[in-house]
């Protein structure tokens, strides 16, 4: 595909990805302005506004990160030693907000709070939440997804169980495979989010791999603070 055509296609798909959350925001604001909105409905509309504003922010952040990487610009990080449970719990909280009413599974965090990682907390939280949302968007309803961490030589491993972006196991490896995503243009938002998350993890000296253990897992490796 010619570069101009590809750019047109990407812009078209991004516009589509932005219109859905924008529609939800505008609709909820319109409802909130109406007379006689019940307290429960008011809270629900506010939640819809927050969730969808975060989705728009996520998409724009990811676009900005990926665009910078494509121009070979280094990602600037403000890293500090941080307990891994803080990273995971903050990421889980953001993932819950991003999923909003779409959260079809219960999200739990199981980790050793004594383990310390050197991370840019804001960027890492967004990266992990983005990975989680990408993997859970089309997950079946019900059940519990538990995020866990474990020590490994020189690093820690964070396991984000991957209920699947509506995929068959044979599609692995997935998150790094450009060809796979190219065949699924409607998932461009998820693709951007996932690619941005992988960039952030790599900038921390880590990696994201997909493995079976025995179910599909996105395993994030991060250097451990000795």
**Binding residues for other proteins, per CB under 8 A?**
8-9, 11-12, 15-28, 30-31, 34, 48, 51-52, 100-102, 138, 166, 186
- Closer to other proteins at the Cβ: 104 or 219? 104
Q: How many CB atoms lie within 10 A of CB 56?
A: 16
- Closer to other proteins at the Cβ: 16 or 110? 16
Which residue do the tokens 């998150």 mark? 175
Q: How many CA atoms lie within 13 A of 147 on its CB side?
A: 28
CB of 175 to other proteins, least distance (A): 19
Nearest to 158 by CA among 54, 53, 87: 87
CB of 21 to other proteins, least distance (A): 8
CB of 27 to other proteins, least distance (A): 4
- Closer to other proteins at the Cβ: 31 or 148? 31
- Closer to other proteins at the Cβ: 69 or 192? 192
CB of 9 to other proteins, least distance (A): 8
CB of 44 to other proteins, least distance (A): 9
- Closer to other proteins at the Cβ: 22 or 86? 22
Which residues share a beta bridge with 117?
82, 224
């Amino acid at each position: 595909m010619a570069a101009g055509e590809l750019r047109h296609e990407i812009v078209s798909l991004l516009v589509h990805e932005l219109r859905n959350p924008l529609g939800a925001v505008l609709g909820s604001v319109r409802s909130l302005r109406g007379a006689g909105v019940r307290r429960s409905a008011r809270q629900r509309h506010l939640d819809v506004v927050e969730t969808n504003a975060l989705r728009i922010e996520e998409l724009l952040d990811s676009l900005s990160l990926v665009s910078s990487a494509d121009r070979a610009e280094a990602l600037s990080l403000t890293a500090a030693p941080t307990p891994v449970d803080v990273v995971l719990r903050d990421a889980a909280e953001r993932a819950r907000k991003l999923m909003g009413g779409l959260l079809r599974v219960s999200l739990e965090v199981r980790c050793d709070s004594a383990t310390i990682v050197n991370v840019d907390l804001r960027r890492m939280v967004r990266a992990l939440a983005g990975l989680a949302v990408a993997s859970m968007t089309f997950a079946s309803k019900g059940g519990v997804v538990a995020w866990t961490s474990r020590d490994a030589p020189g690093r820690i491993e964070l396991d984000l169980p991957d209920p699947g972006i509506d995929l068959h196991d044979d599609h692995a490896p997935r998150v790094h495979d450009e060809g796979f995503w190219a065949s699924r243009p409607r998932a461009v938002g998820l693709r951007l989010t996932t690619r941005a998350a992988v960039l952030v993890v790599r900038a921390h000296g880590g990696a994201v791999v997909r493995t079976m253990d025995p179910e599909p897992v996105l395993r994030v490796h991060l250097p451990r603070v000795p």
